[in-house]
């Protein structure tokens, strides 16, 4: 150890993974698996890892549901263009995690503040996510589509005031 080095009491190092998967329910498990593996690598308690996996499931389900509710195109005999993929960026560290989910050129119509225009499934997914994270934000971009970014700090909040 040299002069100026700091000692930090935290296990693990920061890890990041980016996944681009088909926007289909059967691929959501891949995102959960990767998130769980990253959390295990940090030495997090099983409860924290389970929460992260639930958040991955619920945020990605919002995008998968948008495909399921999209109107079916008329049959023209031509091959159907592939669905826009789902992008997941998972950043984990000893003190917390951030998950970013987006889908190119897909805008989600969710208004969590008012609850208006939400299906029961979307409202439930947003309620679950909000209960498990410290911060979340939704941004819309004409090229990137809707981007959901959620984060959770794993520092001890026991002494914090409400």
Q: Where do the structural domains in the chain lie, given as residue ranges?
A: 15-69+83-152
Q: What is the pLDDT of residue 150?
A: 96
| Mean of pLDDT values over 83-98 | 92
HEC string of the chain equals CCCCCCCCCCCCCCEEEEEEECCCHHHHHHHHHHHHHHHHHCCCCHHHHHHHHHHHHHHHHHHHHHHHCCCCCCCCCCCCCCCCCEEEEEEEECCEEEEEEEECCCCCCCCCCCCCCCCHHHHHHHHHHHHHCCEEEEEEECCCEEEEEEEEECCCCCCCCC
In which residue are the tokens 């499931």 written? Answer: 57
Q: What is the dotted CATH code of the domain comprising 15-69+83-152?
A: 3.30.565.10
- Give percent of the chain with pLDDT exceeding 90: 48
- Give percent of the chain with pLDDT exceeding 70: 72
Global pTM value = 0.76
Q: Which two structure tokens, joined as six digits, stand for 17?
A: 């993974």
pLDDT band at 13 (very low <50, low <70, confident <90, very high): confident
């Amino acid at each position: 150890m040299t002069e100026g080095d700091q000692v930090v009491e935290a296990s693990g190092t920061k890890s990041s993974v980016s996944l681009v998967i088909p926007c289909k329910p059967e691929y959501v498990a891949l995102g959960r698996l990767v998130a769980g593996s990253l959390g295990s690598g940090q030495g997090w308690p099983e409860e924290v890892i389970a929460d992260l996996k639930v958040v991955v499931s619920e945020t990605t389900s919002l995008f998968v549901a948008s495909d399921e509710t999209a109107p079916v195109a008329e049959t023209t005999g031509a091959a159907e263009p592939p669905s826009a993929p789902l992008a997941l960026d998972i950043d984990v560290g000893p003190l917390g995690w951030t998950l970013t989910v987006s889908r190119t050129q897909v805008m989600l119509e969710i208004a969590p503040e008012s609850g208006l225009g939400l299906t029961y499934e979307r409202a439930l997914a947003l309620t679950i996510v909000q209960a498990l994270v410290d911060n979340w934000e939704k941004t819309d971009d004409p090229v990137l589509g809707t981007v959901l970014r959620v984060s959770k700090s794993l520092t001890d909040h026991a002494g914090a005031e409400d």
